[in-house]
Structure 1
Amino acid sequence: MRVAVTGCCHGELDKIYETLAVAERRGAGPVDLLLCCGDFQAVRNEADLRCMAVPPRYRHMQTFYRYYSGEKKAPVLTIFIGGNHEASNHLQELPYGGWVAPNIYYLGLAGVVKYRGVRIGGISGIFKSHDYRKGHFECPPYNSSTIRSIYHVRNIEVYKLKQLKQPIDVFLSHDWPRSIYHYGNKKQLLKTKSFFRQEVENNTLGSPAASELLDHLKPTYWFSAHLHVKFAALMQHQATDKGETAKETKFLALDKCLPHRDFLQLLEML
Structure 2
Amino acid sequence: MKVRSYHETLQPMQTHSPTTHIQIAIEGCCHGELDAIYGEIARLERENGYKVDLLLICGDFQAIRNHRDLACMAVPDKYKKLGGFAKYYAGEATAPVLTLVIGGNHEASNYFWELYHGGWLAPNIYFLGHAGCVQVNGVRIAGASGIFKPGDFHLGYYERPPYNHGTMRSIYHIREYNICRLSLLSSPTIFLSHDWPQGIEHHGNLRDLLRRKPYFREDINKGVLGSPPMMSLMRTLQPAWWFSAHLHCRFEAVVVHGGCQEGGAPDSAPVHSTERTNPDEINIDDDEDSANSCTTASGAGQRSVEKPGTAALNPDEITLDDEEDEVEAPPPPPPPSKKTQFLALDKCLPKRRFLEVIDVDAPPGPPVLSLDPEWLAITRAFNQYMSIERKQCTYPDEDHAREAVQQSLEWINAHVLVGKEGGHLKVEDVQQFSMTAPGPASDEPKTPPPYYPNPQTAAFCSLLQIENKVDFPTAAGSGPGRS
Please give the range of the TM-score, normalised by the shorter of the 2 chains.
Answer: over 0.9
1:182 alignment counterpart: 202
Corresponding residue of 1:197: 217
Q: Does residue 263 of the first structure (1) align with residue 361 of the second (2)?
A: no
Using the alignment, how far apart are the partners of 1:245 and 1:232 within structure 2? 21
CA distance in 1, matches of 2:137, 2:251: 27
Identity %: 53
1:1-270 matches, within 5 Å, as: 1-165=22-186, 167-238=187-258, 244-270=335-361
In structure 1, the residue corresponding to 2:146 is in which secondary structure?
Answer: coil
Q: What is the Cα deviation at residue 124 of structure 1?
A: 0.2
Range with greater deviation from structure 2 (33-42 or 230-239): 230-239
What are the ranges of 5 or more consecutive residues in structure 2 without an aligned counterpart?
1-21, 263-332, 362-483
Distance 1:150 1:23, change over 3 A: same
Structure 1 segments of 4+ aligned residues over 4 angstroms from their partners: none
Distance 2:223 2:254 in 1: 18
The DSSP-based 3-state class of the residue aligned with 2:72 is coil
Give 1:28 shift. Answer: 4.8
Kindly provide the CA deviation profile for residues 92-126 of structure 1, in whole angstroms up to 9, marking residues without a partner as x: 10111010111000000110001012100000000
Query: Match for 2:110: what amino acid?
Result: N
The answer for unaligned runs of 5 or more in structure 1 is: none
Find the residue that maps to 1:131 and give its secondary structure.
helix
Secondary structure, aligned partner of 2:151: coil
C-alpha root-mean-square deviation of aligned residues, in Å?
Answer: 1.3
| TM-score, structure 2 as length reference | 0.55
Larger CA deviation: 156-165 vs 21-30: 21-30
Q: What code does the residue aligned with 1:177 have?
A: P
Task: Give the alignment's TM-score, normalised by structure 1.
Answer: 0.97
Distance of 1:214 and 1:131 partners within structure 2: 21
Cα deviation 1:229-262 (Å, max 9, x = unaligned)? 000000100069x965321000000000000000
How many Å separate the matches in 2 of 1:108 and 1:139?
A: 17
Q: Could you tell me how far 1:7 is from its partner in structure 2? A: 0.3
Give the SS at the match of 1:269: strand
Residue matched to 2:422: none
Alpha-carbon distance between aligned partners in 2 of 1:24 and 1:57, rounded to the nearest angstrom: 35
Cα distance, 1:193–1:169 mapped onto 2, change above 3 Å:
same
CA distance 1:115–1:42, change in 2 (3 Å) = same
Instruction: Give the partner amino acid of 1:197.
Output: R
| Deviation, structure 1 residue 39 | 0.1
Which is richer in strand? 1
